[in-house]
Structure 1
Amino acid sequence: MSEEPSRVPLGLAAGAAAAALLLTGCGGGEKATAADAAGAAPAGDLPQATTYTTLDGLPQDSSAPTGGPTTVVHPEKAVPVSAEPGGPAIAELPATQLKGPTWVPVVEDRPGWRRVLLPSRPNRVTGWIPDKGLRAARSTHVIKVDISDREMTLAESGRVEGTWTVAVGAPKTPTPTGRTFLLASLAPEKPTYSPLILPVGAHSATLDTFGGGPGTVAFHGWRDTSVFGRPVTHGCVRVPADALKRLAKVPLGSIVQIQT
């Protein structure tokens, strides 16, 4: 359990540049291509638990968020996702997401099973996966976003590493609240508004799609610093340059808590 969750190398992330433009609902309205959208298609009979899919019949995360270390797991190959331990498979959690490894946080344990947060709609959806064929690690990082104060805090091992004023969702396109997690790290080859985009496992509650993508919420930078402290985005969280550099070092699967 001493292993550290993956951080996506920028070389690999650059290969996912098209996905970066497709996914987020807060940027410059870049258009997706058919090749970009191909990742949305399920590989087999079961739907894939990715940011592109909606999964019905699975439990919602209702646990109180904690600031302590979190177990995160990475499936070495696709694993079945069930509504309860030992139940029939409703979906599959793939080994990779957005051209990087899938790391998801564990929110509950049962003998032989782990309930994990999933990156699909609806927000806060969870599922049970078998506790075998998984790499496990501990993340000591927690990212907290306070919508009312328009403030983001990064903590490690309970110690605050930094606090920044950020831009959040506008009233008609609010940033979704609840517990989610850092899903991927994407570095566009030709960045238009941010050198790095960090999608999370949550989606806009008011936009079904944006720019051709599924309305995935993300952390990213913004060139016009006057936006910080204002509710102006399509749901994403725009952060200052130094905050983005710190977030880039946070392991995938780490908890993100968004509150009003």
Structure 2
Amino acid sequence: MTELPEHPRRDRRRRHRRRLVMAVVLGATAVVLAAGAVATVVAQPQQKGADRASGSSTQDGGVAVRAGDHTALTADQVAALPEARYDAVIPGLLPYASSDVPPVSHDVYTIATDTPIYNDEHVAVARFAFMNFTGRPTVIVPVRSDGAWTLVMTPARQKLPSQSNGAAPAQTAGWVRTDALDRTTTLDRRVVVSTGEQKLRIEDFSGTVEKTFDVAVGAPGTPTPTGVTGYLQERYLDPQQGQATYPIQLTSLHASAQDEPFQGEDGGLIGMHYFPSHSGSISHGCIRLSDEAVTAVNALPLGTSVTIVP
């Protein structure tokens, strides 16, 4: 839902996004060839003990695993799972509604290969792609760890607002195998947005506020979801949306009141982006920022938690 109402409609933006993704992927490949900055061959993690057996299919298309003795999926089984990406709706995911940031979420992870996501019954219902829609490694943010299993947030939807009387979960989660995660970043700050105060704060985990900015939030008919924590999943420039200078800060959160508040097919994403008018309840759900605010958020690592409160 990274919307700018004075710019081209979403069908043009969707085509542009495809071109953007291809451009990013090609550009990333060029960087790899020139500088060797990104590995082009990914080592597949070895399976251990009982993890070598294959899973069995379930009636809803998931893959069941034994609760006490994990059964690894084959590469084909993982590939057949729907990708948990920004515009996906995957009923098997778990709703996650909390304004807390658990201590385990202070660390950000990546994965070495496409990785299955499981529900509470240990049925594989989705997958994380190794590379996200911009062609960069997918960031993974945990909620809690339970030994061999870790509950993590995902960037997909669990259901649409039209399927839930305008009250869909704004954030989802799912279980992954703990040994599939590679820690990359330890965070020391978080973002908190208050829709009532129309303020964005950057603070440390003790609650000490470092910076505060005025922001615009969702209008009454297209509200910004509140009482929930997500994370910064990606950032990118999009000249077709008027964002050629300040990167769009894309969160994992989604509109909970309308399927597509700004039309198009972006999954009702909640983005934080620059806009000249950045005060009041005027947006389609996104957080509109000043140039100083978007520059400050842009300096934070991907995976940084974003909490929206009333």
Q: State the partner residue of 1:199.
A: 250
Identity %: 23
Which secondary structure state, in structure 2, belongs to the residue aligned with residue 56 of structure 1? coil
The Cα RMSD (Å) is 2.4
1:221 counterpart = 2:257: no
Alpha carbons of 1:128 and 1:212: their partners in 2 closer, same or farther (altered >3 Å)? closer
Pairing 1:47–2:90 present: no
Structure 1: segments with no counterpart, 5+ residues = 1-22
Decide whether aligned partners of structure 1 residues 163 and 117 sit closer, same or farther in structure 2, where only a CA change above 3 A counts. same
Q: Which residue is 1:82 aligned to?
A: 118
Letter in 2 for 1:78: D
Give the helix-richer structure, 1 or 2. Answer: 2
From the superposition, tell whether residues 125 and 230 of structure 1 become closer, same or farther in structure 2 (CA, over 3 Å): same
Of structures 1 and 2, the one scoring higher in RCO (CA 8 A, sep 6+) is 1
Contact 2:97 2:229 (8 Å CA) reproduced: no
Match of 1:106 in 2: 142
| Paired residue secondary structure (1:44) | helix
SS in 1 for 2:234: coil
Cα distance in 1, alignment partners of residues 16 and 101 from structure 2 = 39
Question: Deviation per CA, 1:74-131, whole angstroms, max 9, x where unpaired?
Answer: 112111100137x121100112223122112211111111100111113221100011
Aligned twin of 2:294: 244
2:13 corresponds to: 32
2:93 aligned with 1:58: yes
The CA deviation at 1:212 is: 3.6
Provide the residue aligned with 2:126 in structure 1.
91
Larger radius of gyration: 2
| Residue number among 196, 202, 205 corresponding to 1:154 in the alignment | 202
Change (3 A) 1:206 1:62: closer
- Report the AA paired with residue 171 of structure 1: P
1:32 Cα deviation after fit? 3.1
Counterpart-to-counterpart distance in 2, 1:29 and 1:189: 10
Mapping for residues 134-173 of structure 1, pairs under 5 Å = 134-136=181-183, 137-158=185-206, 159-173=208-222
Normalised by the length of structure 2, the TM-score is 0.68
Deviating beyond 4 angstroms after TM superposition, the runs of 4 or more aligned structure 1 residues are none
Q: Which moved more, 1:72-81 or 1:230-239?
A: 72-81
Larger CA deviation: 107-116 vs 30-39: 30-39
**For residue 127 of structure 2, what is the amino acid of its counterpart?**
E
Work out the number of aligned pairs and report it.
231
